[in-house]
Amino acid sequence: KQEVTQIPAALSVPEGENLVLNCSFTDSAIYNLQWFRQDPGKGLTSLLLIQSSQREQTSGRLNASLDKSSGRSTLYIAASQPGDSATYLCAPTRGGYNKLIFGAGTRLAVHP
Amino acid sequence: NAGVTQTPKFQVLKTGQSMTLQCAQDMNHNSMYWYRQDPGMGLRLIYYSASEGTTDKGEVPNGYNVSRLNKREFSLRLESAAPSQTSVYFCASTGAGSYNEQFFGPGTRLTVL
């Protein structure tokens, strides 16, 4: 059974810091892994998708890496801003049909 | 292009009442999903539909039924609501193949008294 752990559970940083959010999963047989952002009371916004054959994906100030063999993914946020404050969720697939298994998330607060 | 839409946004039920949550997508996606999110936990898969005409159970299907009405619409029904079903429900969809991005609706916040 796929289990997903995200560390840290919460993070509070001053604006401008470079951040590292960690995600680990127990079953390395995944098709892809998605990182999402969730603002309070809102739905999920997809940030990055990494296919199992890829090592990393970049979008603006975000970079996500994937190491399937060790069951780890990392989301880097460069030069953090208060607008980055949200919960970040990691979700690798389980089995076919793109079924996602979610971690509990990292709650990020970036203060001015 | 609205993406994934869900109705209603909020709902309060009494124990034993029934209701249907509606979901629609306009991206011509094959697969659709229902998840629930409880405080402090990640989302958990309730049911999914790999393609029109098929549905299958996820991690937490007990107490729910689903209908894939057509390619666009996927509904979730609670036949006899229980307080344990108080949660936020999200619908999602994705295109064909195993490497596609999943897109989520805004959610339905359900309280069962």
> What is the phi-psi region of residue B50: left when phi exceeds 0, alpha when psi lies from -120 to 50, beta otherwise?
alpha
> Using CA atoms, how far apart are residues B88 and B35, in angstroms rounded to an integer?
8
For chain B, percent of residues with pLDDT exceeding 70: 97
How much is the mean pLDDT over chain B? 94
Is B2 touching A (CB cutoff 8 A)? no
**Residue B29 C-alpha, separation from nearest chain A C-alpha, in angstroms:** 12
Give residue-wise pLDDT tens across range A50-61: 988 899 999 999
Considering only alpha carbons, which residue of chain B is nearest residue A1?
B59
pLDDT number for residue A31:
84
The region, left, alpha or beta by phi > 0 then psi within -120 to 50, assigned to residue A68 is alpha
Tell me, what's the pLDDT at A52? 87
Tens of pLDDT, residues A44-88: 999 999 988 899 999 999 999 999 999 999 999 999 999 999 999
